[in-house]
Amino acid sequence: MTGPWGVLATTLAIQALVSMAVLAVPAMAPALGEALRASPGLIGVYIAILYVGAMVASMASGPLVVRRGAIRVRQLGLLAGALVPPLVVMGGVAAALWSVAAGCIACVLLAQVTRGPLDADREHGHAIDIARLVAPVLLVARQPTLARLAACSLVFSALRWRWWPA
């Protein structure tokens, strides 16, 4: 399972399950709103917090991958997806959230099979500090072409944002 197809299958499964975990809450917005006795529009707050967390995690991922290995970092993302949904709500929609969590846990276990060879290049002593977290942002800011591309990406993302009805 360490050949090119095994690597592709592992990374594709991880990405698909992380996406499913992220999208499960907005997809269940009406049911969650009812279960929590809150406006489904508040799911937008969840998405905003999730995206801020994703930005911070993206900045930290480079040093983490070097130190822990790409597969281990992806496994941690899956565990986050498995642990957060059950905390979101306990009630009628809990079964759906638990199924997302179970899929994420299963994928973590399956990814463990390929982890050793794929994470063999990790550096255990690699520092994870603020300078390494900010370095990608500074790289983009110092390159005019990358800065323009990042600005266009920001505008594109802002324009395609969908607001949940209250």
pLDDT along the chain (166 residues), means of 10: 75 78 77 78 77 77 81 74 59 67 82 80 84 88 93 80 53
Does a structural domain hold residue 15? Answer: yes
CA dihedral for 146, 147, 150, 152, sign (positive or negative): negative
**Residue whose C-alpha is closest to residue 71's, from 30, 129, 25, 13:** 13
Does a structural domain hold residue 166? Answer: no
Give pLDDT, residue 53: 77
Does a structural domain hold residue 164? Answer: no
- The DSSP secondary-structure symbol of 164 reads P
23 near 84, Cβ under 8 Å? Answer: no
Does a structural domain hold residue 37? Answer: yes
Does a structural domain hold residue 54? Answer: yes
Does a structural domain hold residue 76? Answer: yes
Give pLDDT, residue 147: 93
CA angle 61, 150, 147 (to 5 degrees): 105
Range of the domain at 113: 4-159
Does a structural domain hold residue 64? Answer: yes
Give pLDDT, residue 166: 44
Does a structural domain hold residue 55? Answer: yes
Domain count, the chain: 1
88 near 38, Cβ under 8 Å? Answer: no
